[in-house]
Amino acid sequence: MNVVLLGIQGSGKGTQSDLLVEKYGLVHITTGGLFRQNIKQETRLGKIAKSFIDKGELVPDEYAFEIVSKALSSAKDGFILDGFPRNLEQTKFLLNKFEIDKVFLLELDDETAIERILARRQCKKCKKVYNILFQKPKVKNVCDICGGELILREDDNKKAICKRIEKFHHETEKVIKLFKEQSNFFSINATQSLSVISKEIISKIN
């Protein structure tokens, strides 16, 4: 089964992906995460991507294609795609290569999105995502799972967030419009609790 999760920054795509990975054993592909991994390892792709990511810009398609192709080729038994496609070119690229079984849109208003992103913290070591408002770690700034330090992502500052949200409305909304016309598209209210959202997703998958 191949699943695409769409939604504005902070709508909970990553968190829902983790839950689906656990339940269905799908491979979670997150282009943002893959870029950050490349930045950390100082690869060629990472060096290129960093300058765009820091500003809240999209990384040019050719690099997004490179990173996502590699990941998709090792997910033959099904994937959850999170953060791709973000524009129509990326959508064409994906649909040319893969059948998509379900598309979920996590719907959230801009204001709540910004509030959530500013409260987002990520484990430096294992990359698990927390939220200091409603998904707190047991000990402040410490990862429940691995004890790693929780940090704010470098691009989670107000300026870069607003830029990304603007890109979402400008580019990714066109992708949503396209998928919306298909019968395998489901829109979900992302202001609901994590467990209600995941139940809704699971009910549509089963």
Compare residues 45 and 150 and give the one whose CB is closer to Zn ion: 150
Report, in Å, the least distance between residue 149 CB and ligand ADP.
19
CB 6 within 8 A of CB 87: no
Q: Which of 83, 63, 45, 90 is nearest to 164 (CA)?
A: 83
CB 7 within 8 A of CB 106: yes
CB 94 within 8 A of CB 29: no
Backbone angles phi, psi at 132, to 5 degrees: -70, -5
> Is the bond leading into 85 cis (omega within 30 degrees of zero)?
yes
Compare residues 157 and 187 and give the one whose CB is closer to ligand ADP: 157
Q: Is there a catalytic annotation at residue 121?
A: no
Instruction: Select which of 102, 153, 167, 204 is catalytic.
Output: 153
Using CB under 6 A as the binding rule, whether residue 164 contacts ligand ADP is answered as yes
Longest CA pairwise span in the chain (Å): 46
Q: Which of 148, 167, 176, 205 binds Zn ion (CB under 5 A)?
A: 148
Q: Looking at 27-35, 38-46, 118-126, 185-193, which segment touches Zn ion (CB under 5 A)?
A: 118-126
Give me 167's structure tokens: 């890109």
Interface of this chain with ligand ADP, residues 85 to 104, rule: CB under 6 A: 86, 90
Q: Binding marks (x or -) toward ligand ADP, 64..83, rule CB under 6 A?
A: x------------------x
Rounded to whole angstroms, what are the CA distances from 84 to 34, 55, 93?
A: 11, 19, 10
Cβ-closest residue to ligand ADP?
32
The single-letter DSSP state of residue 176 is H
> What residue 9 binds from Zn ion, ligand ADP, none (CB within 5 to 8 A, per partner kind)?
ligand ADP
Q: Is there a catalytic annotation at residue 36?
A: no
- The number of residues that bind Zn ion (CB under 5 A) is 8
Q: Which positions are annotated as active-site residues?
A: 13, 86, 120, 153, 164
